[in-house]
Structure 1
C-alpha cells in the first residue's frame, strides 16, 4: 500500500526518436499518434524536447512540433521539455508561445532550460553569444514573463500576441543550478532524472527549502522524469530495452546513430548495461513487466515526493511503445487508487 496521500499526475516527454529505416515525417506521425492515444490513457501532459544536430532525434523545432501535436489532440496539455533558452531570443519565445497559447487556450506549457541540447560547436552555430545568455538565464526568464504580462502593453518592446495569454512557465534542470532559479522565482520545477539522476535529491532539497511563493505558485511543485520500458513479460521488456542500451552506448562513445531495432540481450549488451557509467545515467530506467515497473515507480514516488512523474522511452516499434505507455498508465491508475 502506497504511503502517498495524493494522486500523482503522469505525463510524457517526447524526443521524437528517429528509427533506422524510418523517416522524420513518419517519426512526427508516430508522435502525434502517441499523443492522441496518451490523451485517452489519462496522461496529463505531452512535452517535446529540444535537440540539435542529432540524427536520432527530430524534436529540434520544438514550438512547431507543439503546434502540430496540440492541433491533433483535444485536451492533453502540450508543451516544451524544454525550450533551451540560451539558444533563443526571449522576445521570439514569447511570441511563439503567445501564439500557441491563443490557438490552444489553457493547454500550452512553456518549460525553459539553459543547456544547449547539442554539442558545443553546434551551440555556437545556433547563437554565437549563447554563453552570455547562459549567465543571463534568470533575467531572460523574467523577460519572457514580462512579455506575457498585460502590463507590458505600455512598453516600447512588446510581444503583443502574448500579452495576457495564460502560458505557465516551468524551470527545467539536470543539476542544482536551476533549482535555485525555480525556487527564487516561485515557479514549478522539472528535473531530468531520466538521464542525469546524480543531483536529483540535492536539487529537490534546494528547491523545497528555498521556495518563495509567487503569483504563479503558492507552494512547490515538482516533476520527476524517468525512463520506462514496460511489456507483458520481463523477457519481452528486456529484449525491447536493447534499443535503449545501444542508443546510450552511442551517446557514451560519441557514435550516435538512428534508433536501432531490438535484439536478444547478448552477453556483450549485458556488459554494457552493467557498466557503472551506464548504471549512473539510467538509475531511473524502469524495465520489466507491469508488476516490476509498478514496484519501481512506487518506490521512486515515495523516495522523491515529486508531485508529478514524466516518462520518456526509446522503443523502436511504435506498437511496443504504445503498449508500454498503456501499461504505465494502468500502473499509475492503480497507484493513484491505492493512495
Structure 2
C-alpha cells in the first residue's frame, strides 16, 4: 500500500450520457462527482473533448470546466484535453486565460492533436484542421506566447491570458507527442486508458529526451487507466458490462448511449476476451478493492509514472462514485468516510 500513498491520483471525465439520462442530469452528476472527488483527495478533474457522440457530453470542454470549477473549491480542473487542431490558439488562450483568472492556480490546459471525433465532423469544426495537425508544435508555442507577459508588445494579444498561471500538459496516444513534450520541457500525459500499445516506448522517449525548462525542471508523467471497483469481483464485473458495450460501439463505429449493466453473459465475456478488446483495454482494472489495488501497484511499478488519471465508465452514478471512493482508499491506504 505504501507504494501508492505518495502518488497523486486524478479523474478523467467524459460526462458520459447514459440511456434515459438527460444531458442536464449528466452535467449535474459530473459536478457531484467533482465535489466528492475533492473530499477524497483527487488532485485533478479533467474533461475530455469529444464531438458528435451521443454518449459523451463534454464537447464544449472549456464551458464545462468553468461549471465544475465554480462548484468546487480546491481541486484542479482542466482539459484532458483540448484537441488543439480543432481550435484557434488565440481563442484557446483567451478561454483558459479567463478561466485561470476566475479560478487562480486551479486550471490546467492539456493539449492533444487527435480530432476527438470522426473526420467529417472534424472538417465541420475546422476546415483547415489537417494543416493544423502538422503545425501542432508551433501552435503549442503560440499559446505559450499568448500567456507570456513578453507578448504585450505583439500586434496580436490574448490580454486576459498574459501572466496568468495555467500549466500546459502535452497529451499523446502514440510516440509523436512524447518528443514534443520532452523538447519543450512540459509534463506528458499518455492515453493508456484506451491506446496502451506505445505507452512504454513513449515514456522512454520522453524521459530520455527531456530538456528542463522554465515550466518544468524534471520530467513529469501522467498515465490513464480505467477502473471499475466494487465490493466484490462479481459486482465489478457486472458493472463492467456497460463499458464492454460502449467499447464495442467505439470499435464498430456504432455509438450509442451508455447502457445499464447486465449480468455477464457468455457473449459479453467472449467479447471482452477478444484480442482487439484486450489490446485496447489492457489497463482496465475491474474488481474488488484488493484486485484493483494489486493491478494499480503493478501498473505504477512497471511504468514509473508520477501520477495516474482514472476513467470509470459506469452507468449508475452512485456506483461510479463508490468506485472512485474505493480507488481513493487504495491510493491513500485508509478507510474513507462517506462524504456524499
| TM-score (ref. length: structure 2) | 0.97
Instruction: Quote the residue 2:107 is aligned against.
Output: 108
* CA distances 1:117-147 after superposition (whole Å, capped 9, x unpaired): 0000100111110011000000000000000
Task: Give the aligned partner of residue 6 of structure 2.
Answer: 7
CA contact (8 A) 2:3 2:297 kept: no
The alignment yields a C-alpha RMSD, in angstroms, of 1.0
Structure 1 distance, partners of 2:202, 2:307, is 16
Question: How many residues in Structure 1 have an aligned counterpart in Structure 2?
Answer: 334
Distance 2:173 2:62 in 1: 21
**Counterpart in 2 of 1:236?**
235
Number of the residue aligned with 1:177: 176
Counterpart residue number, 2:337: none
Q: Does 1:188 align with 2:204?
A: no
1:151 positional shift: 1.1
Deviates more, 1:326-335 or 1:279-288: 326-335
Give the deviation of 1:3 after TM superposition.
5.7
Alignment correspondent of 1:332: 331
Partner of 1:37: 36
Q: Give the corresponding residue for 2:338.
A: none
Q: Deviations over 1:76-113 (max 9, x none)?
A: 00000000000000000000000000000000000000
Deviations 1:136-181 (A, max 9, x none): 0000000000000011111100000000000000000000000000
Cross-structure match for 1:79:
78
Structure 1 residues 2 and 330, CA gap change in structure 2 (3 angstroms): closer
Is the 1:106–1:166 contact (alpha carbons within 8 Å) kept by the matching residues of 2?
yes
- For 2:38 and 2:44, the matched residues in 1 are separated by 8
Q: Give yes or no for the alignment of 1:249 onto 2:243.
A: no
- Distance, in Å, in 2 between the alignment partners of 1:89 and 1:83 is 11
Corresponding residue SS for 1:241: helix
Tell me which residue corresponds to 2:118. Answer: 119
Residue correspondence of structure 1 range 1-339 to structure 2 within 5 A: 7-334=6-333
Distance 2:135 2:6 in 1: 36
> Alpha-carbon deviation of 1:190?
0.3
Deviations 1:278-325 (A, max 9, x none): 000000000000000000000000000000000001100000000000
CA distance in 2, matches of 1:299, 1:103: 39
- Runs of 4+ in structure 1 deviating by more than 2 angstroms, as ranges, are 1-4
Query: CA contact under 8 A between 1:99 and 1:161: conserved in structure 2?
Result: yes
Q: Could you tell me how far apart the structure 1 residues matched to 2:190 and 2:331 are?
A: 19
Where 1:110 maps in the other structure, the secondary structure is strand
Could you tell me which runs of 5 or more consecutive residues in structure 2 were left unpaired when the two chains were aligned.
335-340
Secondary structure of the residue aligned to 1:171 is: strand
Structure 2: distance between partners of 1:160 and 1:252? 43
Indicate if the aligned counterparts of 1:11 and 1:311 stay in contact, CA closer than 8 A: yes
Give the distance between the partners of 1:128 and 1:199, measured in 2 at CA.
Answer: 29
CA distance in 2, matches of 1:3, 1:104: 32
Cα offset, 1:2, TM superposition: 5.5
